[in-house]
Amino acid sequence: MVFILQTTTTTSCSPGGTAAPRTAPLPARTRGPQLRCPGSSRPQTTYGTSSSLPEETKKALQTGPDLEDFLSGDLADKSVWAEYKGNLKRQKGERLRLPPWLKTEIPMGKNYNKLKNTLRSLNLHTVCEEARCPNIGECWGGGEYATATATIMLMGDTCTRGCRFCSVKTAKNPPPLDPEEPYNTAKAIAEWGLDYVVLTSVDRDDMPDGGAEHFAKTVSHLKERNPKIVVECLTPDFRGDLSAVEKVALSGLDVYAHNVETVPELQRRVRDPRANFEQSLRVLQHAKEVQPRVISKTSLMLGLGETDAQVLSTMKLLREAGVDCLTLGQYMQPTKRHLKVEEYVTPEKFKYWEKVGNDLGFHYTASGPLVRSSYKAGEFFLKNLVEKRKTKVI
């Protein structure tokens, strides 16, 4: 089990995220300004860039993200997005700094640790970790007024596709499926006592049905243990195989989700060539056709270079296709190998898109900088939609 979001217990930390070595202080001429790590009384020393590095690289390092860009402390709490003066649109050759509204708390808490330990013991994966989701602590933590939600990633941690926005590792022939995974997943979720679970997966184009049967078995085991649990399946496109879509849609799930990811005009640039907008739309439509009571859901990332007109047009196409729910969130570059962020969309603009979505008739529109497809799914759907479905309001 590989955990991407990790914490290391050390006596101190450095801006790079590792323990500061216990060595004699360097000569004064090489020492940089001092800062303090959260939770530590020891001042930390930052060191200048090596003189052997090219000037361009030095500048990039000096202007790149620092520790404050990833931790939300007093600075983030006091920052008001309307007063932010940094660039929000990327210029050629520039890498945008993280604005204050995208800074999140370090994941912690009893429920968070409980979920993580169970995952490790049963060799299960979550997209929360593999995709480096910024909301992992909030979703896993739950709380008095929140539903603890986890997104389990079925069929391993290796995808057969290579989308340019995604940090999940890829291979042409991933390891075989674990036949015990559906049972182990249901067992883990029963221990957690979750009200809402999201099942997703990597793409498995190496399998005849793309893993649809594996999805269906997992849903069946979950419902056997807890008939009241709300199950969402966030599926691949199954290469457009509608019989595979049917298998999942008729498995007993409550929410059928499949992400179109971005506007039609950017599909080729953002997604793997085997995926496209029309194919994804057919998946969502067919799920509703074979199981009208299922709630359909999709997601859009903003900040990839799309225009407002393209976003509006895409939202209209999705609603015309009968999609019930839409989430919109900020694209965040997971590594330097992936697509750069073209724009950081303001919270105000996300509120605007939420209003547009509601006006277009989506039963629920979740729109915000840190919203992800499965972000706090229990709160978004458990109260607002599943009960309506049961009473046939939808």
User: Vertex 357, ends 356 and 363: CA angle to 5°?
Assistant: 145
- Tell whether residue 41 is among the known ligand binding residues: no
- Tell whether residue 159 is among the known ligand binding residues: yes
- Tell whether residue 37 is among the known ligand binding residues: no
- Tell whether residue 133 is among the known ligand binding residues: yes
- Tell whether residue 325 is among the known ligand binding residues: no
**Nearest to 296, CA basis, from 329, 336, 248:** 248
Which residues make Cβ contacts (< 8 Å) with residue 139, sequence separation at least 6?
128, 133, 148, 149, 150, 151, 374, 375, 376, 377
Residue pair 345/306 in contact (Cβ under 8 Å)? The answer is no
Long-range contacts of 333-338, Cβ-Cβ distance < 8 Å, separation of 24 or more = 334/131, 334/132, 334/165, 334/166, 334/167, 335/167, 338/164, 338/165, 338/166, 338/167
Going by their DSSP bridges, the two strands 158-159 and 364-367 should be labelled as unpaired
Tell me if residue 298 falls in helix, strand or coil.
Answer: strand
User: Vertex 228, ends 319 and 299: CA angle to 5°?
Assistant: 25
Q: Is 114 left (phi over 0), alpha (psi -120 to 50) or beta?
A: alpha
- The total of other beta-carbon atoms located within 10 Å of residue 13's CB is 18
Tell how many helices (H) and how many strands (E) occur in the chain: 14, 12
- The total of other beta-carbon atoms located within 10 Å of residue 206's CB is 13
- Tell whether residue 374 is among the known ligand binding residues: yes
Query: Which residues line the annotated binding site for [4Fe-4S] cluster?
Result: 128, 133, 139, 159, 163, 166, 374
Query: Which residues line the annotated binding site?
Result: 128, 133, 139, 159, 163, 166, 374
